[in-house]
Amino acid sequence: MISSKTLLHLVSRCPLLKSFTLVIDEDDMLGNDRSSIIDLIECMPVIERLFIDGFLSHCFSIDSLPQEHPVSLVHLKYLHIENMCFLDSRELPLLFLLIRCSPNLEKLFLILDLPEGATTYPAALEIYEKDPITLKKYSKIWLKNLKKLTICQFLDTKLHLEFVQLILAKSPMLSKVKIWSGGKMVPGSNTRRILQHSPRASGAAKILVD
Protein backbone atom coordinates (compact mmCIF):
# COMPACT_ATOMS: atom_id res chain seq x y z
CA MET A 1 0.00 0.00 0.00
CA ILE A 2 1.28 3.44 -0.92
CA SER A 3 -0.09 6.93 -1.48
CA SER A 4 0.29 8.66 -4.83
CA LYS A 5 2.30 11.44 -3.18
CA THR A 6 4.74 8.96 -1.64
CA LEU A 7 5.14 7.22 -4.98
CA LEU A 8 5.84 10.54 -6.67
CA HIS A 9 8.42 11.36 -4.02
CA LEU A 10 10.23 8.04 -4.56
CA VAL A 11 10.29 8.42 -8.36
CA SER A 12 11.42 12.05 -8.15
CA ARG A 13 14.41 10.92 -6.08
CA CYS A 14 15.67 8.96 -9.12
CA PRO A 15 16.28 11.70 -11.72
CA LEU A 16 18.47 9.40 -13.86
CA LEU A 17 15.86 6.64 -14.09
CA LYS A 18 15.89 5.20 -17.62
CA SER A 19 13.71 2.10 -17.25
CA PHE A 20 10.67 1.91 -15.00
CA THR A 21 7.99 -0.75 -14.38
CA LEU A 22 4.89 0.24 -12.44
CA VAL A 23 2.10 -2.29 -11.99
CA ILE A 24 -0.42 -0.90 -9.55
CA ASP A 25 -4.12 -1.19 -8.81
CA GLU A 26 -6.57 1.19 -7.24
CA ASP A 27 -6.70 -1.09 -4.18
CA ASP A 28 -2.96 -0.53 -3.66
CA MET A 29 -3.37 3.21 -3.15
CA LEU A 30 -3.75 4.81 0.26
CA GLY A 31 -6.22 7.66 0.69
CA ASN A 32 -8.56 9.28 -1.81
CA ASP A 33 -6.29 12.17 -2.73
CA ARG A 34 -4.88 11.43 -6.18
CA SER A 35 -1.90 13.29 -7.61
CA SER A 36 -2.02 14.26 -11.29
CA ILE A 37 -0.70 11.81 -13.87
CA ILE A 38 1.23 14.76 -15.30
CA ASP A 39 3.10 15.09 -12.01
CA LEU A 40 4.23 11.48 -12.41
CA ILE A 41 5.34 12.02 -16.00
CA GLU A 42 7.41 15.04 -15.02
CA CYS A 43 9.29 12.93 -12.44
CA MET A 44 10.85 10.84 -15.25
CA PRO A 45 12.76 13.34 -17.43
CA VAL A 46 15.21 10.84 -18.97
CA ILE A 47 13.07 7.67 -19.03
CA GLU A 48 13.69 5.48 -22.10
CA ARG A 49 11.61 2.36 -21.37
CA LEU A 50 8.30 2.54 -19.53
CA PHE A 51 6.19 -0.45 -18.47
CA ILE A 52 2.86 0.40 -16.83
CA ASP A 53 -0.61 -0.94 -16.18
CA GLY A 54 -3.76 0.61 -17.61
CA PHE A 55 -5.10 0.78 -14.07
CA LEU A 56 -2.62 3.59 -13.51
CA SER A 57 -5.36 5.92 -14.70
CA HIS A 58 -7.42 4.82 -11.69
CA CYS A 59 -4.60 5.66 -9.27
CA PHE A 60 -3.69 9.13 -10.55
CA SER A 61 -5.94 11.98 -11.56
CA ILE A 62 -6.43 12.54 -15.29
CA ASP A 63 -9.12 15.18 -14.88
CA SER A 64 -8.77 18.33 -17.00
CA LEU A 65 -5.82 17.05 -19.03
CA PRO A 66 -4.52 19.79 -21.33
CA GLN A 67 -4.96 19.19 -25.05
CA GLU A 68 -1.50 20.61 -25.66
CA HIS A 69 0.92 19.45 -23.00
CA PRO A 70 4.63 20.42 -23.07
CA VAL A 71 6.81 17.58 -24.33
CA SER A 72 8.40 15.91 -21.32
CA LEU A 73 9.20 12.31 -22.29
CA VAL A 74 11.66 13.19 -25.02
CA HIS A 75 13.89 10.17 -24.32
CA LEU A 76 11.12 7.56 -24.23
CA LYS A 77 11.64 4.95 -26.97
CA TYR A 78 9.58 1.99 -25.72
CA LEU A 79 6.13 2.14 -24.11
CA HIS A 80 4.49 -1.05 -22.82
CA ILE A 81 0.97 -0.90 -21.31
CA GLU A 82 -0.96 -3.88 -19.99
CA ASN A 83 -4.66 -4.16 -19.10
CA MET A 84 -5.51 -1.21 -21.33
CA CYS A 85 -9.27 -0.89 -21.88
CA PHE A 86 -10.20 1.51 -24.67
CA LEU A 87 -13.80 1.60 -23.44
CA ASP A 88 -12.74 2.97 -20.06
CA SER A 89 -13.12 6.75 -20.20
CA ARG A 90 -9.92 7.17 -18.14
CA GLU A 91 -7.55 4.85 -19.99
CA LEU A 92 -7.70 6.07 -23.58
CA PRO A 93 -6.88 9.67 -22.53
CA LEU A 94 -3.92 8.29 -20.55
CA LEU A 95 -2.60 6.47 -23.61
CA PHE A 96 -2.82 9.51 -25.86
CA LEU A 97 -1.31 11.78 -23.24
CA LEU A 98 1.74 9.50 -23.11
CA ILE A 99 1.89 9.45 -26.91
CA ARG A 100 1.72 13.24 -27.15
CA CYS A 101 4.48 13.60 -24.59
CA SER A 102 6.80 11.14 -26.39
CA PRO A 103 7.94 12.58 -29.75
CA ASN A 104 10.74 10.00 -30.09
CA LEU A 105 8.68 6.91 -29.30
CA GLU A 106 9.78 3.98 -31.48
CA LYS A 107 7.87 0.98 -30.12
CA LEU A 108 4.37 0.77 -28.67
CA PHE A 109 3.21 -2.50 -27.09
CA LEU A 110 -0.39 -2.79 -25.82
CA ILE A 111 -2.14 -5.68 -24.08
CA LEU A 112 -5.83 -4.84 -24.22
CA ASP A 113 -8.52 -5.84 -21.76
CA LEU A 114 -12.28 -6.19 -21.65
CA PRO A 115 -14.25 -3.38 -20.01
CA GLU A 116 -15.45 -3.78 -16.46
CA GLY A 117 -18.57 -5.94 -16.36
CA ALA A 118 -17.77 -7.73 -19.63
CA THR A 119 -16.45 -11.27 -19.36
CA THR A 120 -16.93 -12.20 -23.01
CA TYR A 121 -16.41 -10.66 -26.43
CA PRO A 122 -20.18 -10.26 -27.15
CA ALA A 123 -20.60 -8.45 -23.82
CA ALA A 124 -17.80 -6.04 -24.77
CA LEU A 125 -19.49 -5.36 -28.12
CA GLU A 126 -22.78 -4.64 -26.37
CA ILE A 127 -21.10 -2.13 -24.04
CA TYR A 128 -19.42 -0.38 -26.98
CA GLU A 129 -22.65 -0.18 -29.00
CA LYS A 130 -24.46 1.46 -26.06
CA ASP A 131 -21.79 4.11 -25.60
CA PRO A 132 -19.62 4.40 -28.74
CA ILE A 133 -16.32 6.25 -28.50
CA THR A 134 -14.70 8.10 -31.39
CA LEU A 135 -11.06 8.99 -31.89
CA LYS A 136 -11.68 12.30 -33.69
CA LYS A 137 -10.31 14.40 -30.84
CA TYR A 138 -6.97 12.59 -31.12
CA SER A 139 -6.62 13.10 -34.87
CA LYS A 140 -3.89 15.74 -34.47
CA ILE A 141 -1.31 13.36 -32.98
CA TRP A 142 1.81 12.64 -35.02
CA LEU A 143 4.15 9.72 -34.26
CA LYS A 144 7.07 10.72 -36.43
CA ASN A 145 9.47 8.09 -35.05
CA LEU A 146 7.19 5.13 -34.31
CA LYS A 147 8.53 1.98 -36.01
CA LYS A 148 6.61 -0.88 -34.42
CA LEU A 149 3.10 -1.33 -33.00
CA THR A 150 2.08 -4.54 -31.23
CA ILE A 151 -1.43 -5.13 -29.91
CA CYS A 152 -2.41 -8.25 -27.97
CA GLN A 153 -5.98 -9.31 -27.12
CA PHE A 154 -7.32 -7.27 -30.03
CA LEU A 155 -11.12 -7.26 -30.25
CA ASP A 156 -12.83 -7.07 -33.61
CA THR A 157 -14.61 -3.83 -32.72
CA LYS A 158 -14.89 -0.57 -34.60
CA LEU A 159 -12.95 1.24 -31.86
CA HIS A 160 -9.95 -1.10 -31.90
CA LEU A 161 -9.92 -1.04 -35.69
CA GLU A 162 -10.08 2.76 -35.83
CA PHE A 163 -7.21 3.01 -33.34
CA VAL A 164 -4.92 0.95 -35.58
CA GLN A 165 -6.02 2.95 -38.62
CA LEU A 166 -5.18 6.17 -36.75
CA ILE A 167 -1.68 4.91 -35.93
CA LEU A 168 -1.16 3.82 -39.54
CA ALA A 169 -2.12 7.27 -40.81
CA LYS A 170 0.07 9.13 -38.32
CA SER A 171 3.33 7.13 -38.35
CA PRO A 172 5.60 7.82 -41.35
CA MET A 173 8.42 5.58 -40.06
CA LEU A 174 6.20 2.60 -39.18
CA SER A 175 7.63 -0.69 -40.45
CA LYS A 176 5.62 -3.36 -38.61
CA VAL A 177 2.16 -3.72 -37.08
CA LYS A 178 1.44 -6.97 -35.27
CA ILE A 179 -2.09 -7.69 -34.07
CA TRP A 180 -2.90 -10.76 -32.01
CA SER A 181 -6.52 -11.46 -31.17
CA GLY A 182 -6.04 -14.44 -28.87
CA GLY A 183 -8.74 -16.29 -30.79
CA LYS A 184 -11.30 -13.52 -30.19
CA MET A 185 -11.62 -12.48 -33.83
CA VAL A 186 -15.10 -12.96 -35.24
CA PRO A 187 -15.29 -15.84 -37.77
CA GLY A 188 -15.10 -14.38 -41.26
CA SER A 189 -13.68 -11.10 -39.96
CA ASN A 190 -12.43 -8.72 -42.64
CA THR A 191 -10.14 -6.81 -40.22
CA ARG A 192 -7.02 -7.92 -42.07
CA ARG A 193 -8.38 -6.77 -45.43
CA ILE A 194 -9.58 -3.44 -44.05
CA LEU A 195 -6.21 -2.65 -42.49
CA GLN A 196 -4.31 -3.71 -45.59
CA HIS A 197 -6.30 -1.14 -47.59
CA SER A 198 -6.31 1.61 -44.97
CA PRO A 199 -4.40 4.85 -45.67
CA ARG A 200 -0.95 4.81 -44.15
CA ALA A 201 1.84 7.34 -43.79
CA SER A 202 4.49 4.67 -44.28
CA GLY A 203 4.51 2.68 -47.49
CA ALA A 204 6.85 0.15 -45.84
CA ALA A 205 4.49 -0.79 -42.99
CA LYS A 206 3.80 -4.53 -42.86
CA ILE A 207 0.61 -5.63 -41.11
CA LEU A 208 0.37 -9.04 -39.45
CA VAL A 209 -3.00 -10.16 -38.04
CA ASP A 210 -3.34 -13.41 -36.10
**pLDDT tens per residue, range 180-206:** 987 666 666 788 889 999 999 999 999
For the chain, give the mean pLDDT: 84
Task: Give the amino acid at 133.
Answer: I
Mention every residue, 6+ apart, whose C-beta is less than 8 A from residue 137. Answer: none
Q: Residue 1: what pLDDT?
A: 73
Q: Residue 182: what pLDDT?
A: 75
Mention every residue, 6+ apart, whose C-beta is less than 8 A from residue 5. Answer: 33, 35
Task: Give the amino acid at 166.
Answer: L
Task: Check residue 74 and report its DSSP letter.
Answer: T
Is the model more confident about 68 or about 26? Answer: 26
Mean pLDDT of all residues in 34-51: 90
Structural domains present in the chain:
1-60+69-85 (no CATH), 106-210 (3.40.50)
Q: Residue 64: what pLDDT?
A: 61
pTM beyond 0.85: yes
Q: Residue 122: what pLDDT?
A: 66
**pLDDT tens per residue, range 72-126:** 899 999 999 998 888 777 788 889 989 999 999 999 999 998 766 665 666 666 6
Q: Round to whole Å and give the CA distance between 89 and 80.
A: 19
